[in-house]
A and B are shown apart, each in its own frame.
Chain A
Amino acid sequence: MIAETTHGSLTFCSIEPDSGLGSALERPPADALGRIEASGLRGRGGAGFPTSLKWELAIKSPGEYKYVICNADEGEPGTFKDRVILSDFADLVFEGMTIGAFVIGAKHGIVYLRGEYAYLRSHLENVLRRRRAQNLLGKNIHGLEGFDFDVEIRMGAGAYVCGEETALIESLEGQRGEPRNRPPFPIDTGYLGNPTIVNNVETFAWVVCILAKGAKWFNSIGTKKSTGLKLFSVSGDCSQPGVYEFPMGITVAELLKEVGGEGAKAVQVGGAAGQCVPAAQFERTIAYEDVPTGGSVIVFGPGRDMLRVAENFLEFFADESCGQCTPCREGTPKLIEGVKMLQQGRCSMQYLHELCSLGETMQAASKCGLGQMAPNAFLSIVEHFQDEILGRIGR
């Protein structure tokens, strides 16, 4: 059930080319959608929105033009599994997008590729060219009259926030990459105002696997609410960092054992936007209903200074905040100031409470996920590592 980063045993390796798309095109789109629904697949970018529901809403949303967007702006600190998928399994991604197009009735697909992955572009363009030649993209795909779909690759420019789907769409439209107000959601008012599905690279790959191997197969793995397999990008203080495939619902302890991270004092699950799980809670499961993740797992060994960890994450957010809404823009620097005060041993308990309360406001009142997640690491470190962070002598 576990594959190491050399990926010989990754599920993706065992999928016959075109098996998912071929299976989808045999029957009407509703059938493919039904199978995805039955599989229980949820968004692999981290938010865990049910994929079939997103697609269904896009089907119902009226509009002549619909779009399929692949979110390849993999920017969460500690995440690199999409890079592996794009490098080695690009066909699966495009096949998944094509299935998405078939299901929602789109003619146009866009891969929003992270700026730092520009080196992958020529490879991806080659794959696209080959797929066009094979009639897996273009007009009358697979000989199916009227099923036209093509994919273009557009480059991001390095902003983390453009991984947020509405900011991604803004960026695609040529605007400043800033999240929009939601609602309306992209399924309703997306790219150029048209119904749009935005899915993670990995989600599209799993769609193909589900159609190829069956919803039951997928459904039988994982937990009830978090079905199937998931790729994890493991880094930090462990002996075997890399990309792993684990079933959803694996406990942190089990994962640590597989990657050689026993003895860790904490694990950051879900990247900078995720949670910091302390050793005492290593029995918790990695699943949407417990500790959710888009794939990032960062292991902190016993020697790590958790205040530095908090500072590092907060600095990341302060830098990557789009600067649009007040709680995120102004709040994050205040938390950084607080961490610095803690480091110097001059943060009163009262002010620390004030900052935690501010963190809650940021979670509740920020405009997008970035701001809502920005204080997470800080809050969980304050909660779980009080002894370590309090009472420091000024340096």
Chain B
Amino acid sequence: MSDELLPHGHPTRAPASQRGRTAEVLEHAKALGKQIEVTIDGRAITVPLGTTILESAQQLGIRIPTLCYHQDLCLAGVCRICVVEVEGQRALQASCSYPITAPIHVKTHTPAVRKARRHILDLMLANHYGECYTCNRNGNCELQSLAEEYGVDYFRFGRMEKPRYEIDLSSHALVRDMNKCVLCRRCVRTCIDLQEVGVLEAIDRGNRIKIATFGDKPLSDVVCINCGQCINRCPTGALRANDNTDEVWQAIDDPTKHVVIQTAPSPRAGIGECFGLPPGQPMTFRMNTALRYCGFDKVFDTNFAADLTIIEEGTELLLRLKAAMANDECRMMNDESALQHPERSQSQSIHNSSFINHNFPVPLPQFTSCSPGWVKFAEHFYPEYLDHVSTCKSPQQMFGALLKTFYAEKTGVNPRDIVTVALMPCSAKKFECNRPEMCASGYKDIDYGLTTRELAKMIREVGVDLPNMPKSDFDDPFGTATGSGVIFGVTGGVMESAIRTVFELVTGKKVENLFDHAEVVPVRGFEGIRYAELPIVEVGPVPAIISHLFKDWNWLKGATLKVAVAHGTANAKRVMEDIKAGGKFSECHFIEFMACPGGCLGGGGQPIPTSPEIRAARAKAIYDEDRSYTIRKSHENPALLQVYADFLTDGPCGHRSHKLLHTHYTPRGKYIA
């Protein structure tokens, strides 16, 4: 991610002084080669020049309370709860945003510091509509814990008796209750600096200040992509997902309804955190039992639909490549030199393998469409590129469509009585399932989206201690999916699955020949943007499942498939701007975009808190689960092949699949009326 601040150029949004976290400062320190000794509460520690007081104290195991500070975000230094005394300085200093550049002496709990912290908390509480009993963050609220930690036992400066602001319930995905806002601006920094969407900002000043959307419009009317990253970073209950548990309970309690739930890979890797487990404990099969205990009639694995997505989206990609190729050949027919040396030209074009012909455009690169946050981001900010976005619905929606058609037929349940619930790590999925176009079967594909947090609440409500639940498998006819489906939950996972499948379909060789254990390492990791090239040296026969679409693969022989992965919309923006400018990513064939940092496992519906370490632990759980599966490639999923044989009989990207499994997008633009 480029944080460069060009002289005379347009600065990135966060003020340089507030972005000055270790990265920037360390660079400086290296230039000077400097380490510096600092004394905190009488204990000395040597740190690189520019390390903050907070970071140094953390290294010493000294706790300094924080509120506006968040590991993922640029510094703000606004809540002032982390103030400390720096010897020789008149005022107290915010330890989170004070870079050490001289050998200072710091004291973290002098009477002045303790008094200031207590006053700051008292002031926050005076302006916070603290209805803890009825708050969805009860027990997981940073303000509440700080009040406890600092022994707040009365409202020194009074309290807010009545709510001041109307709660914004306009969005399918998010709820904003500014009565609980403590103005730490984590949401602002998340939205503007981390995600670069820019829906939220402070308006007005003094104590009239509030966090608002553009023109203070309801969230549903602005460019919010519903990623919910702000929820994950809100210290209080000011931001939350639009909770559907009541509706789901109602459906479960209705004996005429057949309630089925599909579970995505990421919630399993995260839900343990809601039950006090450390991050990265997979709960897949225990959760199945708990779901049945809650009363769900069937429990399915979204990964089945992820496998389906890979087949559909992979086929779509191959079709796009072939169309681009045909254009290329067509162009060369008109090209004199090509006529003279047809072989050379053709082979050249293959080896250049750009497949991108500006005269006869076939939209390439193809973009993934599984992340509803990314899709809405593209609709708002890059509407002119919507034909690049795969027409495939996301796994959640594909599954919903199959449940209300194939599954209904197979089981004889009237689709009208089927209630489809999706357990997702995501707040944007709540918006996605309410898109008007998502009902090709005549019924809403997915009735309700639940977040990981909401399901944890339901499980607790039925008195189940998840970590001690026995394990049970997913229900037929979809069975347990493949490892490819599982890794959809982590950034790069969709790309990795697609590579596993496309490579094998095209070359007829095992992907293990290229990557040990079929682990496509180049697309893994947490680097914001990743790029990989995959040479197709040889080609094999066309497999039966798509033989009606392709005669042979000779046109791909010697080509190099170029792919990229971006997670977090800030990185997506970098890639898109590069494509606009005709840069390296415009030469790609396939790009995976995920709206959330880390991919779905860092989604807006996942347990709070979040941090790079927590996300890494969840990723490990997901990769471990992938390794534990015997079948790890989408095209080898037996249940899936059965669905193509029995139901989607005209094959991937066929007529039926197009009706049920594919969708279209809405160019929304970013200008709000």
Contact = CB atoms under 8 A, between A and B. Distances in A.
- Give the bracket for the number of chain B residues in contact with chain A: 35 or more
B206 A329 contact: yes
Nearest to B75: A181
B77 A367 contact: yes
A329 B20 CA distance: 25
Contacts of B205: 159, 161, 319-323
A365 B116 contact: yes
A148 B41 CA distance: 50
Given A192-B5, A330-B127, A358-B119, A325 B79 contact: yes
Contact of B202 (A161, A176, A182, A319): A176
A323 to B, nearest CB: 3
Given A175-B15, A192-B8, A183 B204 contact: no
Contact of B11 (A192, A329, A354): A192
B91 A182 contact: no
A334 interface: yes
Contacts of B182: 326
Contacts of B78: 324-326, 367
A183 B206 contact: no
A67 to B, nearest CB: 10
| Residue with the greatest number of chain A CB neighbours at <10 A, chosen from B7, B97, B119, B183 | B119
A19 interface: no
B80 A323 contact: no
B17 A323 contact: no
Contacts of B97: 181
Interface string A153-170: 000000101000010001
Given A184-B20, A364-B112, A327 B207 contact: no
A333 interface: yes
Secondary structure at the B interface, as helix, strand, loop or mixed, is loop
Contacts of A325: 77-80
Interface in A275-330: 318-327, 329-330
Most buried by B among A183, A194, A320, A372: A183
Interface residues of A, number: 46
Interface in A64-101: 64-65
B20 A367 contact: no
A280 B18 CA distance: 45
Given A323-B205, A326-B124, A330-B124, A364 B92 contact: yes
A361 B120 contact: yes
B47 to A, nearest CB: 15
A219 interface: no
Given A192-B8, A361-B119, A323 B209 contact: yes
A181 B18 contact: yes
A357 B119 contact: yes
A346 interface: no
B275 interface: no
A366 interface: yes
B20 A326 contact: no
B116 A361 contact: yes
Contacts of A192: 5-9, 11
Contacts of B101: 183
Given A325-B80, A330-B123, A330-B207, A180 B15 contact: yes
B77 to A, nearest CB: 4
B17 to A, nearest CB: 4
A193 B11 CA distance: 8
Nearest to A66: B7
Contacts of A361: 115-116, 119-120
A184 B99 contact: yes
A254 interface: no
A326 B123 contact: yes
18 contacts: A159-B205, A181-B17, A181-B18, A181-B77, A183-B98, A184-B99, A189-B16, A193-B11, A319-B206, A320-B206, A321-B206, A323-B209, A326-B183, A327-B119, A331-B123, A333-B207, A360-B112, A366-B80
Interface of A: 63-65, 159, 161, 166, 170, 173, 175-176, 180-184, 189, 192-194, 318-327, 329-334, 354, 357-358, 360-361, 363-367, 372
Question: A-B pairs with the 4 shortest C-beta distances?
Answer: A323-B209, A330-B123, A180-B17, A193-B16
Given A321-B207, A324-B76, 16 more contacts: A161-B205, A175-B13, A181-B17, A181-B97, A183-B99, A189-B20, A192-B5, A193-B7, A318-B207, A320-B206, A322-B206, A326-B120, A330-B126, A330-B207, A361-B116, A367-B78
